[in-house]
Chains A and B, each alone.
Chain A
Amino acid sequence: MRALKRFFVRMQNFVMSRGGDERLREEMAWHVEAQTEELVRAGVSAEEAHRQARLRFGAAEAVREQYHAEEGLPFAENVLQDTRFALRQLGNSPGFTFIALLILALGIGANTAIFSLVNAVLIRKLPVVDPKMLVRLGDQNDCCVGYGVHDNGDYSVFSTAAWQQLRENAPEFEELAAMQSGFESQPITVRHGGAQQSAHPAIGEFVSGNYFRMFGLSPAIGRLFSDADNGEGASPTAVMSYQAWKNSYAGDPAVVGSTIYVNSRPVTVIGVAPEGFFGDRLSSTPPDLYLPIASAPALANASYEHDPAANWLYLIGRLKPGVLLPPLQVKLSAELRQILAPVRTFSNEPDRSRLPKVHIVLTPGGAGIRSMNEQYSLELHLLIAISGLVLLIACANVANLLLVRGMGRRAELSVRTALGATHSRLVRQLLTESLIVAMLGGLAGIAVAYGGTRILLAMAFPNARGLPIPASPSPVVLIFAIALSVVTGTLFGVAPALMAARTDPIDALRNGARSVAGGATLLQRGLVVTQTALSLVLLVAAGLFLQSLNRLQKVNLNLDASNRYIVHIDPQAAGYLPSQLGSLYRSIEQRFDAIPGVAHVGVSTYTPMELWNDSWTVQVQGRPDLQANASYVRINPDYFASVGTRLLFGRGIGPQDTPTSTAVAVVNQAFLRKFLKPGENPIGEHFGAGPSHAGDYEIVGVVDNTVYTTVQHKDHPMYFLSLLQRPATDKGPIDEDYDLYARTIVLETGRPITNLESLTRRTLASINPNLAVLKFESFDRQISDQFGDDRTIAELTTFFGALALLLAMTGLYGVTAYSVSRRTNEIGIRMALGAERLHVVKMVVRGAFTQLLFGILIGLTCAVLCVRFVQAILYEVKGVDLTVMLAAILPLMLGATIAALVPALRAASIDPMRALRVE
């Protein structure tokens, strides 16, 4: 208490720079006077009395100093003094300051930018009440709609019925909420108000009535869901995300209570979710609308909502306080087995035998569903490692600069030591200087990070809409940057400070310029070797990723993407029944054909190089059952021409292939290789899904292999069917055959058409205002999107590799130039004694290259040992091959040659007479 009070008084004195100097002086003067008078009264002579009085008082200066120390905060004063001095010193050498700040700003900025990504993706919790109490049921990111069981019985996606029963039987949860697992891949269409408005694509997520209550959220306006909204027969309602409300409605409060059309069905908006809430998971396309699970069948034809065998929901619950997880996990698993026992999934082998293994793993739910987090985890860790390496190199570099500076300041430090500065005081002063450099660098780094984060986000999520990762640094990120600066400053500052402060005043004052040994210290050379090694590791990494990207892009896709465009639509969302699709497809073909410049109009279920795949088992009639799958695409007659697939023989799908004619198929070469013998004529053969369907389709033609889904899928067996043909064995009502819905229109134009996108929107809206363009992309773009992540990684590693190379070479140059300047004298003598210029050049270059070679050796060893950490994201690249090695070493050699030659030539041009005169 007393200490605290005293601290405040001192602090106040310090801040107000209030000195008691005047008071002390007066008191001291009076004190000595009083003592003198007393002595005089005792009979001492005036002069002697004054002398004795001062003697008894003691050393006035020491008292004053002590008094002063008691008065303020001497430590803080020292720091301030050091800071002022350091700033002056830095101002005196603007060159050093600029280079050091630049290096640090880049290093700290890059790390901060990457940290803000890491913070958002790997660390941050959901912006909900008390996220610690949330628990997710399940640890897998299985998606969308599943009917199977994992071999090990691990459950992470659940049916509606399973959720309801778990919820009823688990009083351990305050709330157990359910949410759609695969909303990202199933966009909805939304139309506001009247018929003159056209529909536009949006993201909707089906959630349970207690979803918002479980997260503890309150609405921005209106209300959030209650259990009644999710009841059977409740009129459809929706909660809008804050961002959609701001973007599509300009924050108009009248939206509450209004009717919108979701997939062409009327829905009442009841409220807006709170600001900052981006759903239950990090997504580059967060939901615009939240819809009750019970409305899924009506709004999205999701018949699986009622199906106890269809798993489509993730579950997150809020625990009551004091609930222990291990017993809860056992209990929930047992309950799930009971719930699933009567479900048809477990009525047949092999799934029946898996029932006893069925279990749930409870995982922390505070960060929500971590699918994106896990997807990017490896890449992010790689980026952390890479940017960390760059920062290390930057540290080594600045340390080197400081060492050089410290040598130059020997004389100054010696003088200060001679004048009585203690060793620790000098170290503290030098450390202050490096910390200030680091802090200033950190400040500049935050600016770099701000721009860097934007670039990173744009690179990593090119198709994001409303990505919930802010580019502006959050408090956590700022704290990280500052902490990083301090650590950096200490890291690169300690050694140079200790070295520089260890001066012997006599030695330095005795003029140390005439030393021959001189040159760079072992520490300096070691730092250069470290930098070289680290930058080589980064260059090798960049080489590997570039090689991998190159191999990916070199895969012969057999696709000609020029002047081709892919339009994604959803006729089901627009309200079409399968029986109405024939006339829709005819209108699409006719209306688009009528657009001037459009050469071919393809309609299909999906297109090459997009993340979609329909596949089924194939059995060729009269052949053994291979138990193998092939992918299939339903297409219109013009599809092959529009997408640029070559017909090799036979015929394509034609207008004659109507729902009433024989069902036909066109297969690709991989299909032939897989299911038929070489050289066999496939035309006229029949195949189908399984033995009982083997006569379903007649093969009428063969096309070239083209790559669907992803590059890794090349040479995959495929067959193409007519859009509306159903095999004779398929006797179900046509209006339940969701397989007939096309999802894509392919347009091939003879020449580039600039306004094709708006033309497309208008054309579709003229057919039906509910027909929204979910996505319009050039075919080129669609293909390159598939390489997006690989390209981002390759570009980033190349960028960081180049940065590291630049830093390392600056370091090498600095040390070489420094040792040359230190040895000016020695070189002058050598040349005066007859050494040739070439010899001098060789001597300097040899020194530089020795360090380089050590660096390369160490770096290569590290790189080769570390490849396995990134093997998983490399495509057909196994280990470091000679190309990559050379590609990494050559720029290093080139840089080093320049870094060494410049000072070497300067050394060779030394005039011996001048050199000897240098002091």
Chain B
Amino acid sequence: MKTKKDVQPGTLALMVLKTLDVLGPLHGYGIARRIEQISGAKLFVNQGTLYPVLLRLEQEGAVDSDWGPSENNRRARFYRLTRTGHKLLETERRDWEQTAAIIARFFEVKAEDLA
């Protein structure tokens, strides 16, 4: 039976940052829906787990938040990326690509290459 994949630790924050980077200021629900959309049905996220991550990012200064009117004209909390957040996203992205590249190389390697 094929199961949905759990989010790897630390990657949720990266997803949040990238979402905010692409879409601009967004409320928690919007972020959650976007992550679900992009990852398709492959990822299992409890939408609620997003909020501790957002708080953490805010404490680190990567995002900023404020109340604002939502699409249905209700009060919602909007999050946006700060300068620190952009920088953080950049370094995290590079780290991630590097890690991915290294792992990829391990998968590509064949026995005769090592001889």
Contact = CB atoms under 8 A, between A and B. Distances in A.
Interface stretch (A18-26, A392-400, A499-507): A18-26
Interface in A1-42: 2, 5-6, 9-10, 20, 23-24, 26-28, 30-31, 33-35, 37-38
Interface stretch (B16-24, B71-79, B95-103, B106-114): B71-79
Contacts of A35: 29, 47
22 contacts: A2-B61, A2-B62, A5-B59, A20-B55, A26-B75, A27-B27, A27-B77, A28-B51, A30-B70, A30-B76, A31-B47, A31-B48, A33-B74, A34-B29, A35-B29, A35-B47, A58-B49, A59-B46, A59-B48, A63-B48, A63-B49, A69-B52
Given A30-B75, A35-B47, A10 B59 contact: yes
Given A2-B60, A2-B84, A2-B88, 14 more contacts: A5-B59, A6-B60, A9-B59, A26-B77, A27-B27, A27-B76, A30-B27, A30-B77, A34-B29, A34-B70, A57-B47, A58-B47, A70-B52, A71-B55
Contacts of A9: 59
B52 A63 contact: yes
B72 A66 contact: no
Given A5-B61, A35-B29, A57 B46 contact: yes
Contacts of B74: 30, 33
A37 B70 CA distance: 13
Interface of A: 2, 5-6, 9-10, 20, 23-24, 26-28, 30-31, 33-35, 37-38, 56-60, 62-63, 66-67, 69-71
Contact of A31 (B28, B55, B56, B72): B28
B51 A24 contact: yes
B79 to A, nearest CB: 10
Nearest to B61: A5
B89 interface: no
B65 to A, nearest CB: 9
Contacts of B32: 31
A27 B51 contact: yes
A2 B13 CA distance: 14
A23 B77 contact: yes
B24 to A, nearest CB: 18
Given A30-B74, A59-B46, A66 B52 contact: yes
B96 to A, nearest CB: 17
Contacts of B76: 27, 30, 34
Contacts of B29: 30-31, 34-35
Interface string B33-54: 1000000000000111101100
Contacts of B56: 6, 70
B52 A27 contact: no
A67 B28 contact: no
Contacts of B59: 5-6, 9-10, 70
Contacts of A57: 46-48
A57 B46 CA distance: 5
A42 to B, nearest CB: 12
Nearest to B74: A30
Contact of A70 (B27, B55, B61): B55
A71 B53 CA distance: 10
B55 A60 contact: no
A33 B47 CA distance: 13
A58 B55 CA distance: 17
Contacts of B52: 63, 66-67, 69-70
A30 B74 CA distance: 8
A56 B49 CA distance: 11
A71 B55 CA distance: 7
Contacts of B51: 24, 27-28, 63, 67
Nearest to B46: A58
Contacts of B46: 56-59, 63
Nearest to A13: B59
A20 B28 CA distance: 15
A28 B77 CA distance: 10
A380 to B, nearest CB: 53
A335 B59 CA distance: 70
B75 to A, nearest CB: 7
Contacts of B33: 38
A515 to B, nearest CB: 47
Most central of B29, B32, B61 by chain A CB within 10 Å:
B29
A50 to B, nearest CB: 14
Given A20-B55, A27-B28, A34-B29, A5 B60 contact: yes
A24 B77 CA distance: 10
A9 B46 CA distance: 26
B44 to A, nearest CB: 10
Contacts of B55: 20, 67, 70-71
Contacts of A23: 77
The 7 A-B residue pairs with the shortest CB-CB distance, nearest first, are: A58-B46, A63-B48, A58-B48, A66-B52, A34-B29, A9-B59, A6-B59
A66 B49 contact: yes
B56 to A, nearest CB: 5
A37 B47 CA distance: 16
A66 B74 CA distance: 26
A9 B74 CA distance: 29
A853 B53 CA distance: 64
